[in-house]
């Protein structure tokens, strides 16, 4: 839904006669809460489990979509789609990632995450033509009712969530930390306090470099997919051509997730390298959009944007898991997603302001590409350090038995 929002963005902006900044705030609130929910969820998971949180998140998502179909003002959409649906989507997204890392070892975790998250890429293939046809036949308000129905799939996902195999986790933990358990055999039964885990996460220098880089990138990470449909519409492209480019981006996103996941599984110790390269490619592809005029060039760049964004999002959780012990992943992922939510909230309206300032979406693309490039430079600090540290051993997952 996040990738396909650009189609709705253009329709809402045109019908409600709003500026780029005003319309961008809708998706900004949605993305912000998509991330900000990660902070409390990182702590709540030590009290409950992913299944019931996902059920709650799904009902929020459905309620937000249904109420959006009755909106007649942009301010109403801020609340219905931006806040209510944003909270629901944030809960579902967070739980879907944490349940995976609790089931797979460091070797298979990147591939498992990319395969699971490829569902969003598949939706980018399915939703554009469906949304375009629905908007043409019934309008964007009724289209929100359609989205509310598809949101119910979260309930089926929640039903499939099961507790991880604690015996396997304990075995992995003992193998990775044999000496520790030899000295203190009861250590693995002592759950770490959440506050202590948060402090340890913030003291991890490599993780903090990734944290800052991610915060910077998420300021503009959704700029290409959100502003591309409106950019093409101003270039007198038809709805079918716009839909085709979004579908190509979705196909590339799916392909990028699967390829990056396979590569990361083969070269598990170099997950941050691969992640950094996808961010760099995404930066250059976004900048090139500003000078693209022909349909062929737009299709090619849509494919590249999909490939690189797929790799970026597909390996996002895997990088967090690469730098942190397994017991710290829920807290670390929660902190990162929450920070990304803050940057997403401010980034999209800022990109919209740049578009209004230069009277076109090309300004947003240049701004977004430069910010992504800067984020890639920040991430290169870890990559360079690992390259020159011959004795640097990448952190393996440490498994602590915590309440599920």
Please give the pLDDT value at position 137.
86
C-alpha 259/C-alpha 111 separation (Å) is 9
Task: Please tell me the predicted confidence (pLDDT) of residue 399.
Answer: 35
Q: What is the pTM of this model?
A: 0.68
Distance (Å, rounded) from C-alpha 259 to C-alpha 106? 17
What pLDDT, on a 0 to 100 scale, did the predictor assign at position 105? 67
Instruction: Show pLDDT as tens, one digit a residue, over the chain (404 residues).
Output: 655 666 787 788 888 888 877 887 887 788 778 777 766 776 777 677 788 888 998 999 999 999 998 988 888 999 999 899 988 888 888 888 777 776 776 667 666 766 776 677 677 777 778 888 888 888 888 888 888 888 888 888 888 887 665 544 444 444 444 444 344 444 444 445 667 777 888 888 888 999 999 999 988 888 888 888 888 888 888 888 888 888 888 888 888 888 887 787 777 778 888 888 999 999 999 999 888 888 999 999 999 998 998 888 878 877 888 888 877 877 787 788 778 878 877 777 787 787 777 766 678 888 889 999 999 999 888 877 776 765 444 444 333 333 33
- List the domain boundaries for the chain: 5-388
* pLDDT the model gives residue 4: 61
pLDDT of residue 305: 92
| Domain covering 5-388: architecture | Up-down Bundle (1.20)
Q: What is the pLDDT of residue 397?
A: 39
N- to C-terminal Cα separation, the chain: 29
């Amino acid at each position: 839904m996040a990738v396909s929002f650009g189609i709705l963005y253009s329709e809402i902006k045109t019908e409600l006669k709003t500026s780029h900044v005003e319309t961008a705030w809708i998706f900004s609130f949605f993305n912000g809460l998509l991330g900000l929910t990660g902070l409390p969820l990182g702590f709540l998971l030590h009290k409950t489990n992913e299944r019931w949180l996902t059920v709650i998140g799904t009902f929020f998502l459905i309620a937000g979509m249904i109420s959006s179909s009755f909106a007649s003002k942009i301010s109403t959409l801020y609340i219905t789609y931006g806040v209510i649906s944003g909270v629901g989507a944030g809960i579902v997204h967070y739980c879907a990632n944490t349940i995976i890392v609790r089931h797979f070892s460091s070797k298979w975790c990147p591939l498992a995450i990319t395969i699971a998250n490829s569902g969003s890429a598949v939706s980018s293939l399915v939703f554009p033509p469906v949304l375009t046809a629905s908007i043409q036949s019934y309008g964007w308000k009724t289209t929100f009712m359609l989205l509310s129905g598809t949101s119910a799939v979260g309930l089926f996902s929640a039903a499939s969530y099961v507790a991880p195999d604690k015996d396997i986790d304990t075995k992995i933990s003992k193998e990775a930390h044999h000496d520790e358990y030899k000295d203190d055999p009861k250590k693995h039964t002592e759950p770490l306090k959440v506050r202590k885990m948060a402090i340890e996460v913030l003291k991890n220098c490599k993780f903090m470099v990734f944290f800052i880089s991610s915060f910077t990138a998420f300021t503009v990470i959704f700029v290409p997919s959100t502003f591309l449909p409106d950019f093409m519409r101003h270039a007198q492209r038809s709805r079918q051509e716009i839909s085709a480019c979004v579908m190509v981006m979705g196909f590339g996103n799916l392909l990028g997730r699967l390829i990056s996941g396979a590569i990361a599984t083969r070269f598990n110790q170099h997950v941050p390298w691969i992640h950094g390269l996808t961010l760099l490619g995404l930066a250059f592809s976004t900048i090139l959009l500003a000078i693209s005029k022909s349909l062929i060039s737009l299709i090619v760049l849509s494919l590249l944007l999909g490939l690189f964004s797929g790799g970026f999002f597909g390996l996002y959780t895997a990088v967090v898991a690469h730098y942190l012990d397994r017991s710290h992943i829920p807290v670390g992922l929660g902190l990162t997603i929450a920070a990304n939510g803050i940057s997403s909230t401010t980034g999209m309206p800022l990109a919209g302001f740049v578009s209004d300032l230069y009277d076109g979406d090309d300004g947003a693309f240049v701004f977004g590409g430069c910010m992504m490039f800067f984020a890639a430079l920040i991430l290169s600090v870890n990559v360079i350090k690992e390259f020159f540290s011959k004795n640097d051993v990448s952190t393996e997952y440490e498994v602590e038995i915590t309440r599920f």
